[in-house]
Structures are given as structure tokens and as C-alpha cells.
Amino acid sequence: MWTRSMGRSITLVVGAAVALGSGVPALAAGQRIEKHFPVNGRPVVVIQNVANGRIEVKSSKSPEVVVVAYETSSKVGFEMEQAGDRVDVTASIVDASAQPIDLETSLQLTVPEETELQLKTENGLIYVEQVMGDMTLESIAGDIHLKEVSGYIIVKTTGGSLVCTQCAGKLDFNSVGGGAQILQPALTNVNLRTTTGNILFDGDFIRTGLYSMKSGKGLVEVRFSGSDSFDLKAQTATGTVDNQAAAFLKPDSHGTVGGRLGSKFKGLFGTFGAGLAKVELSTYSGTIRILRRD
């Protein structure tokens, strides 16, 4: 008798321990869970969201990472783990036969202002606001919206697009079908590359900055300001260059490159102001449009 009840107790304790410790989904169907992870200094937050849903990251003054997860079915499980200042959140499909609608989940994170992010999702939107720190954001079909973020920002999508508003630091964007809109930036180094998407850069070129924007088939549009200072090189294979700022662009003042490309070069060189920043625009068969905002 004693042995049987003790055995049952042990079974229960072990079962509970296994359930808590082995990454069994932290959520039941249709539930909301909120977890707080106290951190010191500059945390690193890693999210692997294989499901279909939105990831939203905002900052606060509080030295903690708060994760709020929502899910609509029990076919997706969340695992959350903290190791020092690193917080890992992983959403994984529990039932391989689940339909896309069963896989809808969303994550809301509140992090310290200075936080490094590594976010990866398939379909949902990634939204990051007012976070300072290096970040790598990957998505297959989901869009990525960034607002007032700074650091070394790496964005990689297959079909998703990027909207980056008031971003600062360095930005790398690479996509097959997604476009990129860079609005009011304070970026010193920009490298945008897409095969079929469009690119819009609407903002100032910081002096000594390097800006490279390439789209295989899409539109590459740059709207610069009157106070900018940059050297411009725009080239295309079979597309067109629509220069609506020809009146403001001088012939390339540092012109050692143009002659090397020979007579088959299709595009333009120009200098605006003292030519302090370097801007390279390119498209294979799309259109390059150059505008002055003011």
C-alpha cells in the first residue's frame, strides 16, 4: 500500500518535472501566456516562429524581457527559455497535420531599449519599434516593419517587404520578391538588393555614407534633399534611368570611373554638392528614378 501510493506520488512528481522541463508546450489551446525574464545590461532575444503570426517588439525602460504569446489552437507549442541575458522563444508545430489556420500565433515582446534581436518567422509581420541594437530579421512571406530602430540591421526575406522608418545605423536587405521602403533614415551604410521588388529611399544621404540599391526588375527610386552631398552612379542593363534631378546634378567631380566602363555603359554619373556620400543605384531591366524632394 505504502509502496503503491509512494510510487504514484513519484510518478506524478516526475511527470510534472518532465512536463515543465522538457519543453512541453507552455500554452493550451486559445490561451494567452505572459512571461517575464529579468535581464542585466543588453539582452539578446532569439525568436524562432515557425507558425503563422505576428511578432511585435517594443521597448521599455524596464530591465526585463516580457513575452506575451497568443495562440488559437493547441497545434502550436511555445518554448521559452532564459540563459543569462539571452532569451529564446520558439514556436513549433506540434501536429504535423495542422492546417495553416491552426497555426496562427502571435508574440508581443517588450524589451529594454538596448537589445539585440534575432527574429525568424514564416508568414506573419515582424514589427520592431524603438529598439537599439544589432538585429537579424528573417521571413519567408511576412513583411517587416521597423520604426525608430538603430544598429546593424540585417533583413532577409523571400517574398516579404521591408518598411524602415527613421532607422539609423547600417542596413542590409536581401530579398527575392520583396520591396524595401526606407523613409526618413539616418543610415550611414545601406545595402538593398531585391530581384523583383521595388526600392524607395526617401531621405538624407549622410556624409561619408555608402548607399547601394539594386533591383533586378523593379523600380529603384531615390528622393534626396537639397542639403545632401553625394556622388551618384546609376546603371542598368536593359532598363531606363529617369533622372528628374538633372538640373541639380553636376558631371561627376571625382570622375575616374566613367571612362573605365567604356561606351557600353548605360546609366549616369553625377555629383550633388561636394560629393561626400557615395550612392550606387542599379537595375537590370527596371527603372531608376532620381528625384529631389524640395
Does residue 258 belong to the site contacting other proteins (CB under 8 A)? no
Partner residues linked to 79 by β-bridges: 90
- 29 and 105 Cβ atoms separated by less than 8 Å: no
Write down the least CB distance from residue 76 to other proteins, Å.
13
Tally of CB atoms within 10 A around 163: 17
Least distance to other proteins, CB of residue 214, Å: 8
# chain residues binding other proteins, by CB under 8 A? 26
In this structure, the number of other CB atoms found within 10 A of the CB of residue 181 comes to 17
Q: Can you read off the three cell numbers belonging to residue 169?
A: 545605423
Residue 264 sits in the site that holds other proteins (CB under 8 A): yes
The cell for 192 is: 538593398
Distances (CA, A) of 230 to 52, 207, 253, 271, 273: 42, 7, 10, 6, 7
Which of helix, strand or coil describes residue 30?
coil
Q: Looking at 18-26, 162-170, 210-218, 270-278, which segment touches other proteins (CB under 8 A)? A: 210-218
Asked if 263 interacts with other proteins (CB under 8 A), we say no
Contact 260, 237 (CB under 8 A): no
The angle at the Cα of 80, spanning 127 to 160, to the nearest 5 degrees, equals 30
Nearest approach in angstroms of CB 83 to other proteins is: 23
Instruction: Point out which span in 4-12, 29-37, 107-115, 188-196 binds other proteins (CB under 8 A).
Output: 188-196
DSSP 8-state code for residue 196: S
Interface with other proteins, residue 52, by CB under 8 A: yes
| Min dist. Cβ of residue 160 to other proteins (A) | 8
3-state secondary structure of 10: helix
Is residue 23 near other proteins by the rule CB under 8 A? Answer: no
Which C-beta is closer to other proteins: that of 29 or that of 237? Answer: 237
> According to the binding rule CB under 8 A, does residue 33 interact with other proteins?
no
Cβ-based nearer residue to other proteins, 239 or 270: 239
Please tell me whether residue 122 binds other proteins under the rule CB under 8 A.
yes
Determine if 96 is a binding residue for other proteins (CB under 8 A): yes
Secondary structure letter of residue 204 according to DSSP: P
Which of the ranges 8-16, 145-153, 202-210, 214-222 carries the binding residues for other proteins, by CB under 8 A?
A: 214-222
Contacts to other proteins by CB under 8 A: 52, 96, 100, 122-123, 140-141, 158-159, 176-177, 193, 195-196, 214, 216-217, 235-238, 264, 266, 282, 284-285
